Amino acid sequence: MQFSWGPLLRDVSRLDIKDAEKSNAIAERIRQEIKEGRNVDATNSWRQLEGFISSASNDVDFYNFLLDTASDPLFMTEVQESRKLTTETYATYLSSKAATSAVDTSSFMNGVIREKLKIIPKSVSWGGQSGLVFDSLSNDFMKPRIKEVDELLSLGINVTIYNGQVDLICSTKGTEAWVQKLKWKGLKQFNSMDRKPLYCHGGEQITKGFLKSYQNLRFYWILGAGHFVSVLFVSYGVG
């Protein structure tokens, strides 16, 4: 995935040749660290790559490469001001939604949701723990899972992959690359299939995405969406 960042950002003019080459050099180091089983080192190098790209691109938004981080409406003001790396901001989406709707996430989870579920012990309260969780999983974060996807496909289990067009951190370019590494016997036929355009239900015939499907593998390209494509995916009722 990290090898897609440099070329992609160069294509959209957020990096020049020099910086794209440096991005690729760090990505190569990450690949070597993964190959040697140094997964924590690979995660730390991934953080370094993020920091370099943020600096070289003048803070491109990792969730939408058409924006600067500071102009992303999904980011809370305090996150913008602290300029935290994206490893620490995965959990800000709900918080930002709460901020724009004048609802405090902590109060919401410990109030309305607690009352609705009626099973949360009084001694337990909700809190954001994403940073601690990420640090605890730093040894697993960079491990490839292509073999597991291959196994699911071989067992006949439905696999659906979807990507937001303007997502950088999980870019479509990178996702397409790892799909081509699958050993699944249906991959060649999958590649030869035509894509079907997708539209919003009841809306105008404006292309909102594409779908390619063969046997138990489906791949959705969601146009105009970024890292939080799952929210749009559900809202549009795609599929």
Domain locations in the chain as residue ranges: 2-91+128-136, 146-236
- Tokens 């303007």, residue located: 166
The neighbour count for residue 61, using CB atoms within 10 Å, is: 25
CA–CA distance, 61 with 226 (Å, rounded to integer): 10
Least confident of 72-81, 84-93, 127-136, 197-206: 84-93
* Strand runs labelled E in the chain: 60-61, 64-68, 159-164, 196-198, 209-214, 217-222
CATH 3.40.50.11320 fits 146-236, yes or no: yes
* Residue 218 tokens, joined: 């489906």
Non-local CB neighbours of 30 within 8 Å, separated by 6+ positions: 2, 42, 45, 46, 49, 142
Assess whether pLDDT exceeds 80 at residue 157.
yes
Instruction: Report pLDDT digits (tens) over 84-137.
Output: 444 444 444 444 444 444 557 788 889 999 999 999 998 988 887 778 888 888
This model's pTM is above 0.95: no
Per the DSSP assignment, residues forming a β-bridge with 159 are: 217
Among the listed residues 204, 201, 187, 212, the one whose alpha carbon sits nearest the alpha carbon of residue 235? 201
Mean pLDDT on 57-78: 80
- Tokens 């949360």, residue located: 120
Query: pLDDT category, 81, cuts 50, 70, 90?
Result: very low
Fill in the DSSP letter of residue 194: P
- Tokens 């990096």, residue located: 15
- CB environment 120-140: b (16+ within 10 A), e (fewer): eeeeeeeeeeeeeeeeeebee
